[in-house]
């Protein structure tokens, strides 16, 4: 595919971004890792599901020890075909574990994977530090105003539709150009509300075919024109294990390969199930780029 934005190959985007997380300034000049912890019974990767306090503390502790900067907590599965749960159920799955983790790991930075503004507000009030919204503000009209009020970093993701239907024949005229325009429009709204810290996530696997996903990976650096850090959430997804004809459980090597490509193409945050391996990718790519 020819780059629709015609970005020169020698274009270098600034990686000198930072995020203000509750007074903690996180420097993204070296990429960081966001560890995935699912408080759900039905997320696509079984090993990421943590429903007991002991297993939750053990998992998060290991991720932090392995080098995770952020821990991303999700209480509603957003895998393709997943059904929506009620606000009450999402809250019941999320609040007590969050309280426990904030108390156990007071210096950790917790991200909340939600597209509901009421959940965003309550979890930030309970000690979370940033909001990761798969809908980029399109599922809840109050989300942007809530983020502006809370003054927290916001992960703005692209999806074609809700998880229940997003993989039903996704079609784009030009996937890179359309996601770029979407980001531009949403960023304008957020900037007008005074939101400063925004991270862009192109939404691998969210309303995309295999070809769309790899085109996004190949042209990830084009989103650098928007002057915001980029998050790559590729870990163990179908774009890896379907191509390799394996399974999510067997997709670690493919994930590491894909994360390495994402880093070389400008990703500042890797959202992953396997923190240690992601940290190793960052270390190798960082050393390689400095030579």
Q: For residues 196 and 77, what is the distance between their CA atoms, to the nearest angstrom?
A: 28
Angle in degrees, 0-180, between the axes of helices 210-218 and 252-264, rounded to the nearest 10:
40
Report the number of secondary-structure helices (H) and strands (E) in the chain: 9, 10
Catalytic residue among 93, 271, 283, 290: 271
Task: Check if the beta carbon of residue 243 is closer than 8 Å to that of residue 210.
Answer: yes
Residue 249 known to be catalytic:
no
Q: Check residue 86 and report its DSSP letter.
A: -
Cα 250 to chain centroid distance, Å, stands at 21
Question: Which of left, alpha, beta for 151 (phi over 0: left; psi -120 to 50: alpha)?
Answer: left
| DSSP letter, residue 263 | H
- Residue 237 known to be catalytic: yes
* Residue 239 and residue 214 in contact, taking contact as beta carbons nearer than 8 Å: yes
Q: Is 182 helix (H, G, I), strand (E, B) or coil?
A: helix
Q: The tokens of 35 are what?
A: 């560890």
Q: Distance (Å, rounded) from C-alpha 103 to C-alpha 128? A: 11
Q: Which residue has the tokens 């994977």?
A: 113
Q: Are 3 and 13 in contact (CB under 8 A)?
A: no
Please identify which of the residues 237, 242, 249, 290 carries the catalytic annotation: 237
* 49 DSSP β-pair partners: 38
The dihedral over CA atoms of 100, 23, 262, 192, expressed in degrees to the nearest 10, equals: 110
Query: Which positions are annotated as active-site residues?
Result: 237, 271
């Amino acid at each position: 595919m020819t780059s629709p934005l015609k970005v020169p190959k020698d274009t270098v985007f600034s990686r000198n971004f930072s995020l203000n997380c509750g007074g903690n300034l996180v420097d993204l000049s070296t990429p960081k890792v966001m560890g995935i912890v699912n408080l759900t019974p039905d997320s696509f990767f079984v090993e990421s599901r943590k429903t007991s306090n002991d297993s939750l503390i053990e998992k998060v502790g290991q991720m932090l020890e392995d080098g995770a900067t952020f821990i991303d907590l999700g209480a509603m599965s957003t895998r393709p075909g997943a059904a929506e749960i009620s606000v009450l159920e999402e809250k019941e799955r999320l609040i007590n574990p969050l309280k426990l983790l904030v108390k156990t790991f007071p210096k950790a930075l917790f991200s909340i994977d939600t597209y509901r503004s009421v959940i965003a507000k309550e979890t930030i009030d309970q000690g979370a530090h940033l909001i990761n919204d798969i809908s980029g503000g399109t599922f809840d009209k109050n989300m942007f105003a809530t983020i502006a009020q809370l003054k927290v970093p916001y992960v703005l993701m692209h999806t074609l539709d809700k998880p229940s239907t997003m993989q039903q024949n996704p079609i784009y005229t030009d996937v890179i150009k359309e996601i770029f325009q979407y980001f531009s429009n949403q960023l304008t709204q957020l900037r007008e509300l005074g939101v400063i810290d925004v991270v862009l996530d192109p939404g691998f696997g969210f309303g995309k075919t295999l070809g769309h996903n790899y085109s996004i990976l190949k042209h990830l650096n084009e989103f650098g024109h928007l002057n915001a850090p980029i998050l790559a959430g590729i870990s163990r997804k179908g774009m890896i294990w379907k191509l390799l004809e394996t399974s999510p459980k067997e997709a670690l090597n493919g994930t590491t390969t894909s994360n390495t490509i994402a880093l070389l193409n400008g990703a500042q945050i890797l959202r992953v199930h396997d923190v240690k391996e992601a940290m190793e990718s960052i270390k190798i790519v960082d050393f390689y780029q400095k030579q």
